A and B are shown apart, each in its own frame.
Chain A
Amino acid sequence: MSARAPGAELEVRALSKTYLWGGRELPTLERVELTAHAGEFIALIGPSGCGKSTLFHILAGLESPGSGEVLIDGRPLQRRLGAFAFMPQRDALLPWRRMIDNVTIGLEIAGVRRAAARAQAAPLLERFGLGGFEAAWPWQLSGGMRSRAAFLRTVLLGKPAMLLDEPFGALDGITRAELQQWLLEVWGEVGSTVALITHDVAEAVFLADRVYVMTPRPGRIATVIEIDLPRPRTLATAESPQFGAHEARVREALRAHSRTATITA
């Protein structure tokens, strides 16, 4: 694949964030620590409102951290906007741009000419299941295709680390399972470091090298669970007893830290 973006090591050190809400302090993130070694895939899981998305917004530069540090390859990151390839929860495809112009928008913003950007995207379209749909408007694409287009847009940014915020949250179960498998293959080819937010325990275990379980607000890292399932992972992986055991550990960790002691995840 021509879009190789060798991964960088991503570290988050003692990141905290407190909002002011009607004059009162609302601690949202508390001393969050994450490490993704170069080319690793980590997943963050936690109940709604635990600050996962806030954490990604801080990493991507959309919000300022209260305190703490973000390091790339051991060096503190000076300018976070433009440093990561961010994929938001909803695919955020621009309705007035045809598929090909949606996937190349990041290149266009970086100053790449339209023709050159399209040429860069062209060899990847087949791999992303988008071949022949270059001229389609977003509303004409299926949910799975929209997600793949949004992911191609993310890959084409060519950043050493990707932040995926519930990329498959809006999809049905069948499409979702297909895309998880496919995502792993593509990630293997691209080689970049990935941090993923999810609500789905099986998704986290299937995709990640390490799962960070977060507590309800204020969000802290409750437990870190290493997922030592061999790669490449396939459907058979998901049916193995080891997979079940990992899932159970993540579920247990979520339950232990949930506010109400009943967990839906």
Chain B
Amino acid sequence: MRALLRSAWPPALALSVLVVAWDLAANAAHASLSLPGPWLVLKSSWHDRGDLGAAMWTTTQEALLGIALAIACAVILAIAIDWSQTARRSIYPLMILSQTVPLIALAPLVVIWFGFGEAPKVALVALFTFFAISVGMVQGLNSADLDTMNLLRTMGASRRQILWRVRLPSALPQFFTGLKIGVTFSYVAAIFAEYVGAYGGLGYYMNVASHAFNTDLVFGAMIVTAVLTLALFGIVTALERAVIRWRPREGLEGSW
């Protein structure tokens, strides 16, 4: 607990300074429409919590489903690439190609093809989180120790046994690194897709609020997005710690 307090005060301080600066700037500008102060944002958003909450829920669903889809595709393709040279030569260029497609151009097309529902948002989130996860996974599989794999071969291990016992566990740390990068894009990707055309979600909410000149609500939705993204990042970090238990951790020495 004490350690938590000690590690929590620098970001808390930085955040407080930012909020105070924002408050001062808003007061000085004296234009609550273009630059609403933090208290106004808080008050208005709380007042609108019903709509905002529904929007959060919609976007969270899209982000989580998109990430799940991305993880599934990334893991399967990474293992395929790792397993066969042919797969590597055919799939890897396509994976890189998928990153060269500009989201700005693709989002409206996806909406035209698939409509205003959640499916196109999920697809776009998957597309834009997939790359970091799959690259991490491919590199992780590749980082497996050659001596260890050779040792298992001398024991008569099959390729599949080596994949499960050496290559996949070796890939976990880099998989999580990729996943952490991936999840930071997830909400932004979902919101952008919603901006283009949707029935709900934070992007839709911001769009509607800004057209009605409710800048305070736009700011509120932005803050909510940041908090949700941070929370997701935190969940992935906690998951990483739970899964990768074998690494030395400060303060836990000898306490297995």
Q: Which chain A residues have a beta carbon within 8 Å of chain B's beta carbons?
A: 57, 60-62, 81-82, 84, 86, 88-90, 92, 94-97, 105-106, 109-110, 135-140, 157
Give CA–CA (A62, B153) in the complex, Å: 7
Contacts of A92 in B (CB 8 A): 145, 147-148, 151
Asked if residues B248 and A106 are in contact (CB atoms below 8 Å), the reply is no
Q: Which chain B residues have a beta carbon within 8 Å of chain A's beta carbons?
A: 145, 147-148, 150-157, 161, 165-166, 169, 172, 244-248, 253-254, 256
Give CA–CA (A222, B54) in the complex, Å: 82
- Besides A86-B154, A92-B148, A105-B152, 7 more A-B contacts (Cβ < 8 Å) are A62-B154, A81-B153, A88-B150, A92-B147, A109-B152, A110-B156, A136-B256
Q: Which residue of A lies closest to B148 (CB)?
A: A92
Tell me whether chain A's interface is mostly helix, strand or loop, or mixed: loop
Interchain Cβ contacts under 8 Å between A and B, 17 examples: A61-B154, A62-B154, A81-B154, A81-B156, A82-B154, A82-B156, A86-B154, A88-B147, A88-B150, A90-B147, A95-B246, A95-B247, A96-B246, A109-B152, A110-B156, A137-B245, A140-B254
Asked if residues B246 and A106 are in contact (CB atoms below 8 Å), the reply is no
Please give the distance in Å from A94's CB to the nearest CB on chain B: 6
With A88-B147, A92-B147, A139-B248 known to touch, is A105 a contact of B256 (CB < 8 Å)?
A: no
Please give the distance in Å from B134's CB to the nearest CB on chain A: 22
Among B145, B155, B247, B253, the residue within 8 A (CB) of A82 is: B155
Give CA–CA (A140, B156) in the complex, Å: 28
Give CA–CA (A157, B244) in the complex, Å: 28
Asked if residues A135 and B256 are in contact (CB atoms below 8 Å), the reply is yes
Contacts of A95 in B (CB 8 A): 246-247
Give CA–CA (A60, B149) in the complex, Å: 13
Give CA–CA (A62, B245) in the complex, Å: 32
Contacts of A97 in B (CB 8 A): 246
Please give the distance in Å from A11's CB to the nearest CB on chain B: 19
Max count, chain A CB within 10 A of own CB: residue among B148, B166, B245: B148
